[in-house]
Amino acid sequence: MKGRLLVATPSLSDPNFERTVVLILEHGEDGAIGVVLNRPTGIDVAEPLPGWHRLAADPPVVFAGGPVAPDAAICLARSWPDEFTDAYEPLLGALGTVDLSVDPDDVSSAVQAVRIFAGYAGWGGGQLEDEIAAGAWFVVDARAEDVLSADPEALWEDVLRRQPGKLAFYANFPADPAAN
């Protein structure tokens, strides 16, 4: 599932993942790792990572990537076509991860924009598959623009709305069905 999106179903009520969109970064027998794409924080990228602020996509804030290791940072970036750097690892088309330990000036010629995530979502071996089978997640194709969306709060609805068939109807599901 590496490079695909997990979209929380309306029945997923865990506050860490309610109405989230998660990009899977790694998936294998030992488990999966991803980042929540639609949880911006109020922390400007310049606070924890001053040199990276000028490369930050709009909104230029740190995103809550998930409940695991909230003090760890993961950087996703969109690269320029045919530009490469050793600090960049491709993931999905022009989208990849960037090593935050390097000087941002060393990657600025290869990278158009970055998004910084504090923490990540993680699942042990078989755990994610069990959650999908239980109906907690829709698994859909990702687009590189999902990661750097300028309107991350609308990403859950936007991703669902573009899906074929009945899945698109979930985009209109009320946040509180009892208030419907």
Return the half-sphere exposure (C-beta side, CA atoms, 13 A cut-off) of residue 56: 22
Dihedral sign for Cα atoms in the order 145, 97, 64, 2:
positive
**What whole-number distance in Å separates Cα of residue 141 and Cα of residue 119?**
23
Whether the model pTM is above 0.75: yes
CA distances from 153 to 21, 59, 131, 146, 174 (A): 10, 11, 24, 11, 15
**What whole-number distance in Å separates Cα of residue 124 and Cα of residue 109?**
37
- List the chain residues with pLDDT less than 50: none
Given this model, what pLDDT does residue 174 score? 82
Domain boundaries, given as residue ranges, for the chain: 4-179
76 beta partners: 97, 115
Q: What is the pLDDT of residues 62-97, one digit of tens each?
A: 999 999 999 999 999 999 887 767 888 888 888 999
Task: Return the CATH number of 4-179, one of 3.60.40.10, 3.20.20.105, 3.10.580.10, 3.40.1740.10.
Answer: 3.40.1740.10
Tokens linked to 72: 């760890």
- Cβ of 124: how many Cβ atoms within 10 Å? 10
**What whole-number distance in Å separates Cα of residue 21 and Cα of residue 142?**
10
